């Protein structure tokens, strides 16, 4: 029901007699005020939660970026460390090849000397 239909204002003077009307809906008004207060607290809480979420997302992005940079740095260092290992392996293989060739030369030389003596 609308207030005008019952002919009485919530507070103020009576339309018909002009006497002062005390506020009748104090309980309802208190309940409304409490609801508004709770709603305000909930809205404030929601706003602070959203701010915290944004802050955490920003931190996560920063940490992800730092982690990615750290991974790249580690990969570069590992590559730098692997390079000398590869070179060492290459030299070891070459050394073995040369050692085998030298051994073959000694074997041939020995065989040559034997054939020269038998002649």
pLDDT digits (tens, 9 = 90+) for 39-94: 988 999 999 999 999 999 999 999 999 999 999 999 999 999 899 999 999 999 99
21 in Cβ contact with 11 (< 8 Å): yes
Residues 6+ apart with CB under 8 A from 9: 3, 15, 21
Single pTM value for the model? 0.41
Q: Is 20 helix (H, G, I), strand (E, B) or coil?
A: strand
pLDDT tier at 11, thresholds 50, 70, 90: low
Show me where the domains of the chain are located. 3-118
15 in Cβ contact with 21 (< 8 Å): no
Pairing mode of beta strands 20-21, 12-13: antiparallel
> Looking at the predicted structure, is the pLDDT value of residue 117 above 70?
yes
Structure tokens at 114: 């034997």
> Looking at the predicted structure, is the pLDDT value of residue 27 above 60?
yes
């Amino acid at each position: 029901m609308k207030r005008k239909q019952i002919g009485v204002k919530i507070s103020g003077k009576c339309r018909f007699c002009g006497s002062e009307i005390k506020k009748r809906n104090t309980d309802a008004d208190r309940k409304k005020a409490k609801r508004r207060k709770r709603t305000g607290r909930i809205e404030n809480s929601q706003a602070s939660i959203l701010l915290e979420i944004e802050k955490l997302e920003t931190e996560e992005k920063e940490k992800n970026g730092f982690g990615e940079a750290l991974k790249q740095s580690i990969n570069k260092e590992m590559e730098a460390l692997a390079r000398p290992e590869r070179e060492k392996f290459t030299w070891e293989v070459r050394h073995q090849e040369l050692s085998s060739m030298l051994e073959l030369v000694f074997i041939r030389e020995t065989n040559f000397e034997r054939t020269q003596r038998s002649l």
